[in-house]
Structure 1
């Protein structure tokens, strides 16, 4: 017995309009007893739902002032004014001042603010000004970039809207609606946000429940509400509440909750509450104090950040004590240690990360990819296994009906007529096969004859039975059931076969011939759907039990040709280190033929029935060895994705159907298309406006560019900071004065940070895009230890030069010493990004993008000007002698040569991420 335990920060929900996926994240069901479940429901909402469940439909219509014909335009307008849009109130974007606070509120900015306050109270106004400027620039840049990217994301997400099928009256009309037949001719599609209490809606497989609703009519209606109740299996909903004493809303059998979804079946329902008045809305209001889920991307950034912060926490006190004991001035030593702490703080990291991710999102938007979550851009680059469905991805997603034949494979018009009747009258989720049947029937003048029949009932499709049935009545009022579906599932309920209008028993010989004919079609790449029938029925309502003793009439065979772009796309993904695995519900023969046509090597095909027999340990080995899996259920797909993740892979999953939703949620990066069913779009991180593997390949490359540019800043910051601390420790131990004043250290750090603003726009070597890239804090630490001390060598050379050559060897000449190290330190820090941005020779074999080149030149020019220009006294610097600028190029060139030599050794030994 389970109930609700609220646990995740609602801020992640604020940034994503769609509620399905995030609703799953809000609720943990592990700890509290079911008896306390109603405590999560506001009393008024509980009362409303329980009363609505007990009312008769007529009482409900009267209370809601509605009818089966739906609301008219005036009623809808009035209720929208009264209740507002059907959206969670807290979903609205953050006000600018709250957003600005969130942009400021990070460990680095808070630390810098503390340092600024210390500087202010110690009357170091220059230090206060410089530190404050650093905080202000970092915060405003991040605010501006996030605001810009959020606005772009909102505009893009507005292109992907979820809709509901609603029955509404035209102006002044009084439509007669019969809910028992789920008459969709009287319906229209509206956005979910436009729904109001009293709306009559139609639901079918794949639909999200758009509000809290009461079921009026249900036909084999199964709803997935595991996020609310903890029940792993879908629950069936009915029009009548059997237990009239039930007081727990989650026990009500005729109430549907916003945020759940229809797995199978169909229903007519009336909207009870919308927006913040729903149970989902009530939950949203109660979880604003919960903690946000940390994604794998954020974990990587946090690990690197804390690596640098721990380094700062250790080194700053060492600098304090060395300077305090050697100089005797603890106040000055404290200020200098604080300045060192500022210099070690990667305060631009949040801005660099946000900028690079936003740039990647903008790039993908130009490729018709909607990024619902910025972190997904980097996950694209980290992906090493792509699991994808076959239909519409490898193939054109344009199904044509190629054959309609009897059980012996001969053309049959009767089979086409029965298939058209089935597709025409079904009200569930019409797929591409149904569209192909009706288009073919239209061309053969069959669809026009279907109006001679009247629909009696329907048994909707579900993924366990893999078939669906309709019951129709002809002019003689005789009921006939027509069933179509997967061959094996149809054969399981057939007792007879039709041969030349003669009905004979289904014997072993006929069964063998049927398997032979369908296998031949499958080998040709055709997808075969069996058609069966049963006449002489007389019920008013039909169910799954009536699907028995059917007569197999024949098959309709469909062709979905491979895309011309599939083969080169698969090759491109393979060349970039991504393994493509096919996870399809289709049969193995069709799958094998398509894979062969697109050049995908298939060593063997693993079937869903095989997976059923495997435990997780066995499946963990199988998913590594094989790349094609066929005849899978949704649970199989989700399990394969979960096992691959457990094996250490970063998994992308691409799908657009109801059966893909569990796998989309489980994958590291869920990818869907704008034509997908609602639940698939809700579960996805990325939505493609074009269903193409070539788009994915471009997205992968952009993700890797994004990551590489982030890594440049981190490596540069880590190594240069480590080198600076070495230099400071050495100078502090031997010099009678500070090697650099706090204000000089701060202005140097400010200029250095400004020079990195252009990193998100830098080029990335093609060689660095060939393999998936993930966060590796240990590798960054090793890089820091290798390259950090190199700058210290040249800092020491500068110390010796200033001490012995230029005579800056006493307190009276400390300004000259500090000015000399100020210029060398700033120039080497600025050059380091060009050295470590590539394993190649910088400026010759690999050149930075023009924005980064120009920014570096500008900062280096400013660094040289400050001690030589009119601002020098303000920063306690002084002009350097001409001879200094003879030695300066020699130091910089020697520094670059040594960095390149160490880089070559490092690259051979450890590689280059």
Structure 2
């Protein structure tokens, strides 16, 4: 038997590594799900395609007239009136199920379906009996009660969970920057007046508006990291690249323009249209909202999306593997029980009914409810610790995480960047450099950056600069993560001058590659190798002080040129640097220590230079083992990278592709990887990680890619979330361990009794009633406490370990079941068919109490009740079941259930058996822990 079970669980565990983490598929490449789209969905797609084509070809004046808008956007009153007509800008591509469909989905799981089949077999067997037995009808009622309890509890828990999840997600809102023609200029809390400055000389001002409140006619401003909030007509664009993979599956972003250059009949190929569900990769622009909500191209395809089937997550795959192990075990053992009883007793119909009852006892029908309730409880507890769970299944991944990759800025540091110095190329303070930096930050409209906030705030406080009134913006070359610099071109309007000046700022090495000269005072010199060495020496000193250095360069341009591009960022004159300080958080050191104590290895992945990163790491007591740079990562093949990610814990000067590649390499080595980031450069890595973690202040695309949102950007908050994730996982694992070991012990006891007793050790009704009462005792497991030592290391699904646990601990209860057989047979003389009711009553009580006791024995590796106590809801539930089990044989219901009152002399024996069971189980727990560990 044990050889067979070992091979059985080994084969089942072979599935363990199948499936990983759910990733979104392109909407138009959904395989069989898309192929099954209805004709109505196809028609809707065609209508949406035609409407977008017509909109792209319409003149802007006609388009503005249609929506009563203009380049300055709508007024507040116009927007509110439009919202009344068009409704919220929301696409319910996963609409909440109606209550009856939700109830059906709560019922439709393998265990409930299996119980329904078993109840039907029991009923059919009863119908065809010559003398129908009331016991069979009772069996049907009890099995039905199990199904109803499991279904209703799951339905209620999921309903509460869904409502709570929606409330939590409402705490994290994505916004769009819109123009309002009558809005007052807001003053940001940090003193920055960029949001609120008039644009395009239109008198309009920028406002941040929740995506759901956008309406047709709104003019939105787009920059790197923004999600396209609705279907839009591009008004102007500057190097505007949009990732459309969510709609088309294209891996490369496409460039958008204000003018359509190529004729096409495919709306997704339109160059002057941008669609909801896509996101800006680089560049900037503005666009007119032409369709919102269900009227967008994405909304018209919603029917096709909902008809496609999602791939299972790692968590769902783990639950399914464990479920099928238990089902396969039941499918093997129930026929064996029937065969043995049929051969030894000669009554095959009774043997069938008994085998059906055993099958019911082996079915963990409460598993779906336990999983749902535990996850929901975990999500609510995490929300109290400022952690919002977007996807409940991510809780398990958070608890299983053993490697955390995190950025530096705002996580290790305070995210409170201050401009500390503005110097020339040799480190001497320079107001001219500050003025250039101010103009660049003031006029840039691309990627929103805290560095720009610091520049503007510092310049206004230090010198009350009002340079903007002396200049007119001509053009802009937006930031991207390959160039790592951005430029604005301005025209000085004072003193009758008319010349264009390109002002560029960016990372030092990228700026040096674009500079050929440098300015010291009023003199300009060639940028020789010796001077490059001096520059690197000066900036390295600043880096060692923990300052992040941004270089500033300028270039005189002809006044006749109006359009500029990346090619113009050449032959620059380096004028100096602006250096920023982002001091470490006081909580970072303790948080890193807590994560290390929890078995999580932290790796810092940053685009910043290595000297600043090492300085910050030293200040927070982070032990830097080895540092790799982005250029070195670029040169490595996959095998070399696998070695590098194991031996190093700091990676600097990384691009988004480098971060993603590092995360994938870590996962390929069997790690459960979390990635914490908040920028557009973090989005690929967030999607690649097992669990993506972002913050509510992150760019839209990062929040969309993340599974978990922190309301406070702190590693300490994350560490608390990890602990809650582990508590959730531990409570689910408790139920599986309790159910698996208890069920196996019962079956083993039944096999022994069936082989040697002249009557059934328990009637089918007894097994079913015992199982129902045991299930009721376990409904409080989601609210249970978890031992501190179980929270110190990551938790992983281990189906093979569960099978091993079941085979190891299950027979322990069988030892005492057999002792109870001997007690009833020899001491109380229940050794003939006419005394079988006494025998069955004795084993019913002992079996129920030992099963309930195993809840407390298996929930902890410590001594139960003394070193580790269950939460009060679980204590109350198990106590109620114990009392009910003891009282039932003495109650008026005893005759109905074919039980009888037990002699009082039975109970001292019962106490001895149960105490012996506890002692032996505790001793064997020690052996198990020394060999395998507890989790």
TM-score by length of 1: 0.93
Residue aligning to 1:204: 223
RMSD of aligned alpha carbons: 2.4
Pairing partner for 1:364 from 382, 388, 394: 382
The residue number in structure 1 matching 2:663 is 641
Q: How does 1:305-344 map to 2 (within 5 A)?
A: 305-344=323-362
Residues 198 and 205 in structure 2, CA contact (< 8 A), matched pair in contact too: no
Separation in 1, partners of 2:677, 2:451: 17
- Asked if 1:597 corresponds to 2:624, the answer is no
Distance in 1 (alpha carbons) for counterparts of 2:619 and 2:792: 26
Query: Quick check: 1:29–1:230 contact (8 Å CA) kept in 2?
Result: no
Q: Are the equivalent residues in 1 in contact too, given 2:27–2:248 (CA < 8 A)?
A: no
Contact 1:371 1:687 in 2 (8 A): yes
1:699 aligns with 2:721: yes
Match runs of 1:394-413 below 5 Å: 394-413=412-431
Q: Give the secondary-structure state (helix, strand or coil) at the position aligned to 1:873.
A: coil
Deviation for aligned residue 1:895: 1.1
Deviations, residues 626-652 of structure 1 (Å, cap 9, x unaligned): 010000000100111011111100000
Q: Is the 8 A contact 2:746 2:814 kept in 1?
A: yes
Aligned to 1:525: 546
Give runs of aligned pairs for residues 173-212 of structure 1, distance below 5 A. Answer: 181=200, 185-212=204-231
User: 1:295-344: CA deviations, max 9, x gaps?
Assistant: 11111111111111000011111122222333333332222211111110
Q: What pairs with 1:58-69 in structure 2 (closer than 5 Å)? A: 58-69=61-72
**Correspondences of 1:596-675 after superposition (within 5 Å):** 596-675=618-697
Which one of 531, 535, 546 corresponds to residue 556 of structure 2? 535
SS in 1 for 2:778: coil
Please name the residue that 1:484 is paired with.
505
1:70 to 59, 70, 73: 73
- Per-residue CA deviation, residues 352-393 of structure 1 (Å, 9 max, x unaligned), is 112222222111111111111111212111000000000000
Q: 1:25 to 1:305 in 2, by over 3 A?
A: farther
Pairing partner for 1:213 from 190, 214, 232: 232
- Deviation of 1:179 after TM superposition, in Å, equals 11
Q: Which one of the candidate residues 142, 145, 150 is aligned to 1:138?
A: 150
Residue 899 of structure 1: how far off its partner (Å): 1.2
Deviations 1:222-281 (A, max 9, x none): 11122333332222111111112x112222111212111111111111222222222222
Higher mean alpha-carbon deviation, 295-304 vs 381-390, is at: 295-304
Partner of 2:256: 237
> Do the aligned partners of residues 263 and 370 (structure 1) sit closer, same or farther apart at CA in structure 2, a change above 3 Å counting?
same
The structure 2 residue matched to 1:581, chosen from 603, 616, 629, is 603
CA gap of 1:512–1:178, structure 2 versus 1, over 3 A, is: closer
What is the CA deviation profile of residues 412-464 of structure 1, one whole-angstrom value per residue up to 9, with x for unaligned ones?
Answer: 11111111111111112231111111111011234334322221211111111
Alignment check: 8 A CA contact 1:41 1:279 kept: no
Residues 138-195 of structure 1 show CA distances to partners (whole Å, capped at 9, x for unaligned) of 11221222222221111111111111122244499xxxx9999497952322221122
Tell me if the contact between 1:369 and 1:686 (Cα under 8 Å) persists in the aligned partners.
yes
Tell me the secondary structure at the aligned position of residue 661 of structure 2: helix
2-structure distance, mates of 1:182, 1:800: 96
Asked if the contact 2:606–2:652 (Cα under 8 Å) also holds between the matched residues in 1, the reply is: yes
Is 1:284 the counterpart of 2:302 in the alignment?
yes
Structure 1 partner of 2:83: 80
- For the residue of structure 2 that corresponds to 1:541, the secondary structure is coil
2:11 match: none
Report the alpha carbon displacement of residue 65 of structure 1 after superposing the two structures with TM. 4.8
Q: Name the counterpart of 1:469.
A: 487
Aligned length: 886
Say if 1:544 and 1:660 are closer, same or farther in 2 by CA, change over 3 A: same
SS in structure 2 of the partner of residue 563 of structure 1: coil
What's 1:752 paired with? 774
Q: 1:812 aligns with which of 827, 831, 834?
A: 834
Shift of the 395–68 alpha-carbon distance from structure 1 to 2, 3 Å rule, reads same
1:428 to 446, 449, 452: 446
Q: Does 1:100 align with 2:103?
A: yes
User: Is 1:150 aligned to 2:162, yes or no?
Assistant: yes
- Whether contact under 8 Å (1:164, 1:189) holds in the other structure is yes
Is residue 238–residue 477 contact of structure 2 (8 Å, CA) maintained in 1?
Answer: yes
Gaps of 5+ in 1: 1-20
Residues 249/180 of structure 1: CA separation in 2 closer, same or farther (3 Å cut): farther
CA distance in 2, matches of 1:841, 1:569: 31
Deviation of the 1:30 alpha carbon:
9.2
Q: Which range moves more in the overlay, 572-581 or 795-804?
A: 795-804
Which position in structure 2 is the counterpart of 1:296? 314
Distance 1:804-1:320 versus aligned 2 partners, 3 A rule = same
User: Does 1:128 pair with 2:146?
Assistant: no
| Distance in 2 separating the partners of 1:144 and 1:22 | 29
Q: CA deviation at 1:833?
A: 1.8
Counterpart check, 1:513 vs 2:513: no
Q: Is 1:118 equivalent to 2:121 in the alignment?
A: yes
Q: Give the TM-score, by structure 2 length.
A: 0.91
> Is the CA contact 1:322–1:732 (under 8 Å) kept in the aligned structure 2?
yes
Compute the displacement of 1:199 (Å).
Answer: 2.4
1:594-650 CA deviation, whole Å, 9 max, x = no partner? 111111111221011001111111101110110100000001001110111111000
| Residue matched to 1:842 | 864
Partner Cα distance (1:849, 1:707) in 2: 16
Structure 1 residues 22 and 836 mapped into 2: Cα distance closer, same or farther (>3 Å)? Answer: closer
**Are 1:780 and 2:802 counterparts?**
yes
SS in 2 for 1:387: strand
Q: Using a 3 Å threshold, how does the CA distance of structure 1 residues 751 and 26 change in structure 2: closer, same or farther?
A: farther
Cα pair 1:182 1:268 within 8 Å, conserved: no
Shift of residue 71 of structure 1? 3.4
| 2:712 is the counterpart of 1:690 | yes
How has the CA–CA distance of structure 1 residues 141 and 855 changed in structure 2, closer, same or farther, with 3 Å as cutoff? Answer: same
Separation (CA, whole Å) in 2 of partners of 1:139 and 1:418: 67
Deviations 1:464-492 (A, max 9, x none): 11111111122223221111111111111
Secondary structure at the aligned position of 1:758 is classed as: helix
**1:566 pairs with 578, 588, 608, which one?**
588
Q: Is the 8 A contact 1:719 1:788 kept in 2?
A: yes
Other-structure match for 1:499: 520
Q: Secondary structure at the match of 2:779?
A: coil
CA distance 1:607–1:27, change in 2 (3 Å): farther
Task: Report the 3-state secondary structure (helix = DSSP H, G, I; strand = E; otherwise coil) of the residue aligned with 2:697.
Answer: coil
- Contact 1:206–1:262 (8 Å) recurs in 2: yes
Question: Matched residues in 2 for 1:726 and 1:683: separation?
Answer: 49
Match of 1:51 in 2: 54
Match of 1:457 in 2: 475
**C-alpha distance in 2 between matches for 1:394 and 1:746:** 56
Structure 2 Cα separation of the partners of residues 389 and 653 of structure 1 = 9
Distance 2:601 2:300 in 1: 43
